[in-house]
Amino acid sequence: MRTSALALQSDHVTSRSIGWAALAPALVVPLLGSLLYFVWVPEGALGQAAYTLTKVFTLVYPLFFLRSIGANGLTRRQDDQGARWPSWRSVALAGLGSGVLIAALGAALMLTPLGDLVRLGAGAATAKADALGFREHFVLFAIFISVIHSGLEEYYWRFFVYGQLREKCRPWVAHGIAAVAFAAHHLVLTLQFFSVGLAVFMAVAVAVGGLLWSLMYERQGTVLGSWLSHLCVDAFLMVVAYQLVMG
């Protein structure tokens, strides 16, 4: 297991981490953005612009710090002397396997009364897709969410947010903060379509997923495995969303 997150050298912290003032926007901007495009200005050009600008922020903001924090964990393994990283094949299999298992669990839950509660949100989901201009291009939107957006979220939430939190906090504190921050904007989303109880349940599930993926990132030294897992889960969610919006 990787041990550097437990005992970081002071010079490593200085050269590979950013301050809390720089990290704080990364924790809250996705939540504020979701409030803008789902609650405060949910329709028309303003809502679409808020959605686009929030996604641009998640792509661009970490780039400002890439020179100081490095890109290890994205295109190559993290620098960690003595680490025994799993093989790339194991990383890929773990990612695909966990993603398929989570998707299968979700599909099973859709066959229970919980699935009926989800389908009650079809009208609200359709209205929101129309308001944001997604419905007429839903298949392209679903591909973007499943493939590109899942990778963007792993780059942002695991590589950047969790990667910086672990430089400042004890490991489980870092995992917990990253998981809650990741789930926060998803709670805003689910509250637009479902009852409070179901929305909170879904947000907790998202937090558990975020925790799993940050653990994978920590264990594997790369976002590849967590991205493949995330991709599978988002593909399943897009199938469900297609049934709600287009069915």
Ranges of each domain in the chain: 10-246
Rounded mean pLDDT, 75-93: 82
State the Cα–Cα distance between residues 63 and 93, nearest whole angstrom. 29
Lowest-confidence region among 78-87, 195-204, 215-224: 78-87
Lowest mean pLDDT among 12-16, 123-127, 161-165: 12-16
pLDDT greater than 70 at residue 83: yes
More confident residue, 79 or 138: 138
Using pLDDT thresholds of 50, 70 and 90, give the confidence band for residue 13: very low
Phi, psi of 72 (to 5 degrees): -60, 135
Mean pLDDT of 155-182: 97
Q: Is the pLDDT of residue 163 over 70?
A: yes
Residues 30-43: pLDDT tens digits? 999 999 999 998 87
Tell me how crowded residue 11 is: count the other CB atoms within 10 A of its CB: 8
Angle, in degrees to the nearest 10, between helices 20-35 and 171-191: 20
Task: Please classify residue 57 by burial: count the beta carbons closer than 10 Å to its beta carbon, then call 0-12 exposed, 13-18 middle and 19+ buried.
Answer: middle
Q: Report pLDDT for 81.
A: 60
Cα Dmax for the chain: 56
d(CA 36, CA 48): 10
DSSP state of 77: P
List of residues 6+ apart from 92 with CB closer than 8 A = 224, 225, 228
In this prediction, residue 80 carries a pLDDT of 67
Residue by residue, DSSP assigns the chain as: ---TTTS--HHHHHHH---HHHHHHHHHHHHHHHHIIIIIS-SHHHHHHHHHHHHHHHHHGGGGGHHHH-SBTTTBPPP-TT--PPPHHHHHHHHHHHHHHHHHHHHHHTTSHHHHHHHTTHHHHHHHHHHTT-GGGHHHHHHIIIIIIHHHHIIIIIIIIIHHHTTTS-HHHHHHHHHHHHHHHHHHHHHTTS-HHHHHHHHHHHHHHHHHHHHHHHHHSSSHHHHHHHHHHHHHHHHHHHHHHH-
What number is the average pLDDT over the span 142-169? 96
What tokens does 221 get?
């030294």
State the pLDDT at residue 91.
Answer: 96
> Are 3 and 221 contacting, i.e. CB atoms less than 8 angstroms apart?
no
Considering the entire predicted model, what is its pTM? 0.90
Cα gap 168→173, rounded to integer Å: 9
